[in-house]
């Protein structure tokens, strides 16, 4: 079990003090900064878009892990690259031509990720897993922070890890939703590589300590 990559979700940060929140992450053991982009169509919530992502990037010293929970992501990936995205993740469920979407992201020089909603079987990635840098496994229904972790996630992670091994893929597994100290060890044991944590980090008394503990779980 390797040391996980920690990608705190800025969606749970104090937006009135966004610069200081980003600087806190810069000074923490966090590896990436997870940015959830929601359009109110693909998911039932609206978060923020290009201007806020650009503002975050101006202060961030960690890679921006941009998760596009939006319809027609191919229309926006270039713009998000321009405002600082280093990892761009699109949803399997939002892409009619997923292979083309992945090629588009890689052509921009970004790492290409594919996110799966809780009800989406991992087997649907078998024909493209070798092209993907990252699979973002949603462990809650996407759209809102602070939701309860879905227990079926553990078995899905194991199935995905088997698929990655079987296809000799270099893809890493990211878990997004309801991650905390209680489930992190089991997720890593199942095969997860990246842990996204929002409310658990930003609502804690000491976010830097919380991140450090997740990193060393």
d(CA 22, CA 26): 6
Strand 85-91 relative to strand 64-69: parallel, antiparallel, unpaired?
parallel
| Residue 124 vs residues 18, 42, 116, 127, 141: alpha-carbon distances, Å | 37, 19, 10, 7, 18
Sign of CA dihedral 189, 190, 193, 195: negative
109-133 CB burial, b ≥16 within 10 A, e <16? ebbbbbbbbeebebeebeebbebbb
Residues labelled as active-site residues: 36, 176
Residue-by-residue DSSP string for 136-149: EEESS-TT-SSPPP
């Amino acid at each position: 079990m390797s040391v996980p990559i920690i990608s705190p979700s800025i969606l749970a940060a104090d937006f009135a003090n966004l610069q200081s929140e980003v600087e806190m992450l810069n000074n923490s053991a966090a590896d990436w900064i997870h940015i959830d982009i929601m359009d109110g169509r693909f998911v039932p919530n609206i978060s923020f878009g290009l201007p806020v992502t650009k503002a975050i990037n101006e202060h961030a010293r960690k890679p921006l892990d941009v998760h596009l929970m939006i319809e027609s992501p191919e229309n926006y990936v270039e713009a998000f690259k321009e405002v600082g995205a280093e990892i761009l993740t699109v949803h399997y469920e939002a892409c009619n031509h997923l292979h083309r979407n992945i090629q588009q992201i890689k052509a921009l020089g970004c790492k290409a990720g594919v996110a799966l909603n809780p009800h989406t079987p991992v087997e649907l990635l078998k024909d493209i897993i070798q092209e993907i840098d990252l699979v973002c496994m949603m462990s809650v229904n996407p759209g809102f922070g602070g939701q309860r972790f879905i227990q079926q996630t553990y078995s899905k992670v194991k199935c995905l890890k088997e698929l990655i091994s079987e296809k000799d893929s270099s893809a890493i597994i990211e878990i997004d939703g309801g991650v905390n100290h209680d489930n992190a060890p089991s997720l890593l044991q199942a095969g997860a590589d990246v842990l996204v944590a929002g409310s658990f980090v930003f609502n804690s008394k000491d976010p830097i300590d919380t991140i450090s503990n997740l990193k060393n779980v």
